Copies of this chain bind each other. A is one copy, B any other.
Amino acid sequence: MTEAPFQFDRETAVEALGDGRWSTQVVSDWNIGDNPNGGYLVGSAVRAAIEATGQPDPLTVTTHYLRPGLGGSDGELDLDIVRRGRRFTNVDARLTQDGKARYHLVAAMGDLGNGTLSDEPVEHSLTQAPVDIPPPDECRSRSNLEQGVDLPIMTRLDVRIDPQWADAGTADRAEVSGWIRFADGRPVDAASLVLFGDAFPPSLFSLLGKVGWVPTLELTVHVRRRPVPGWIQARFTTTDLHDGLLVEDGQLWDEDGHLVARTRQLALLL
């Protein structure tokens, strides 16, 4: 494994073994309680996809979480290039640890730096403006929330929560807003938005209080732009909970106020 200057890169490093197989490792420093964070877990697959396809950016990443990952264990990735296209390359990736599949991921890779992904310049654009929240210094660290779970991941990420959503079970709706960056100063890029889209407390926390571990069945992240350097602002809401299954929506903006990613996940309330 190469020695990268930042934690996220060292701790998602991959090595090609040939025939679409890659070795990687999962460290426990990104855990939520006893389980590696799902956004961290797919970091190695996104990295292998970038290397295998030659496309720098994940445009859409859908992950089915099959079993919790194992922090502190090696892993093996199987990466299949499903279709290689001029603008988009589709991949399929599975992480195996201790003989069992941990997740199954499909992604379309592309290049967000080309100006336009369409054949012709598209003059129309629509966007969602960021919500108005206090600056990071006036928000509360996720470490200080009463979530009822240990958060080793806070050694790796700096996550600040808008005080409006920081007290368990006190809000009138399920929402969380705040800011996120790497703890060690690693610059943000398109690939890290896949991680940042799954690194906030469940938005049900503000409405229902301590909800513990909310296992994700399926998470899709759409990366819409490469972010400018700085903090990422994020907002997550849950307005759809039925029979123990919930859908959570997320939006991420960069410091220029551009919408850089959107997320949606199907998760289980235990």
Q: B108 touching A64 by the CB < 8 A rule? A: yes
Query: CB < 8 Å: which of B104, B106, B117, B247 contacts A224?
Result: B247
- Report the separation of the CA atoms of residues A126 and B239 in the bound assembly, to the nearest whole angstrom: 5
Query: CB < 8 Å: which of B174, B208, B217, B244 contacts A116?
Result: B244
Residue A222 CB within 8 A of the other chain: yes
CB neighbours (8 Å) of A262 from chain B are 240, 247
Residue A5 CB within 8 A of the other chain: no
Which partner residue on chain B sits nearest A251 by CB separation?
Answer: B240
CB neighbours (8 Å) of A243 from chain B are 112, 115-118, 122, 125, 225
Query: CB < 8 Å: which of B90, B115, B124, B128 contacts A208?
Result: B124
Q: How far is the CB of A150 from chain B (nearest CB, A)?
A: 23
Within 97-124 of A, Cβ neighbours of B (below 8 Å) are at: 101, 104, 106, 108, 112, 115-122, 124
Say yes or no: A90-B104 contact (C-beta < 8 A), given A59-B217, A127-B240, A266-B60.
yes
Q: B117 touching A90 by the CB < 8 A rule? A: no
Query: Mask for A66-81, Cβ within 8 A of B = 1, else 0?
Result: 1100000000000000
Interface of A (DSSP majority class)? strand
Residue A238 CB within 8 A of the other chain: yes
Q: B83 touching A101 by the CB < 8 A rule? A: yes
How many subunits of this chain does the assembly comprise?
Answer: 2
Q: B208 touching A238 by the CB < 8 A rule? A: no
Say yes or no: A92-B108 contact (C-beta < 8 A), given A125-B242, A264-B264.
no
Q: How far is the CB of A210 from chain B (nearest CB, A)?
A: 13
Which partner residue on chain B sits nearest A122 by CB separation?
Answer: B244
Residue A34 CB within 8 A of the other chain: no
Residue A270 CB within 8 A of the other chain: yes
Query: CB < 8 Å: which of B108, B122, B125, B269 contacts A118?
Result: B269
Q: A264 touching B220 by the CB < 8 A rule? A: yes
- Report the separation of the CA atoms of residues A264 and B264 in the bound assembly, to the nearest whole angstrom: 8
- Report the separation of the CA atoms of residues A29 and B123 in the bound assembly, to the nearest whole angstrom: 34
A66, A121, A225, A243: residue with the most chain B Cβ atoms closer than 10 Å: A243
Some 23 contacts from A to B, beta carbons below 8 A apart, are: A59-B217, A62-B62, A62-B218, A64-B90, A64-B106, A64-B108, A66-B90, A82-B94, A82-B104, A104-B106, A108-B218, A108-B266, A116-B244, A117-B245, A118-B268, A122-B269, A125-B241, A125-B243, A126-B239, A218-B220, A222-B247, A224-B245, A247-B262
